Amino acid sequence: MIIFFGSAFFIYEAKLIGWVMLGLSALCLASLRAFQIPLKHVSPDIIFGVIDNSFLVVLALFGAHISGVAGAIIGGAVGNAITDGIAGVFEGHMAESLRQKNISEERTVLGSAIGKMAGCLLGAGVVLVCVNLLNISF
């Protein structure tokens, strides 16, 4: 609920929304401590979310530039399909690397959900902050 209302409240504040998403990502990561979930256990999920949403947002922005709202929807949908596959490769590679180093990357429903949500907000937030800082308009 906090994520939804936090982002909805700032949706028309183009200069702030990226920063808001970064803050919400930090809130998600902080909540891991409350559930006693080590960050290293969810790092593959975070990487997945960062890769997934950063590229999705870029493709949605390009789609919006080319064709408005419909272009953003198509860019987001196609971008999501492509980036899910790409991010899954990185997530799997990171999980395998952790296992080879005898670091437990035990997955739980809650940890995986929070990790992916934090990563998605982080990826989208970074892209939107960069777009605004570089004054790129679509």
What average pLDDT is seen over the chain? 87
Structure tokens at 79: 């971008």
pLDDT score recorded for residue 75: 87
Angle between helices 17-34 and 109-133 (to 10 degrees): 160
19-28, 37-46, 104-113: range with highest mean pLDDT: 19-28
pTM above 0.75, yes or no: yes
Task: Give the residue carrying structure tokens 């437990």.
Answer: 104
Q: How many CB atoms lie within 10 A of CB 106?
A: 11
Backbone angles phi, psi at 11, to 5 degrees: -60, -30
Rounded Cα–Cα distance for residues 104 and 40 (Å) = 8
Per residue in 27-55, pLDDT (tens digit) is 999 999 999 998 888 888 999 999 999 99
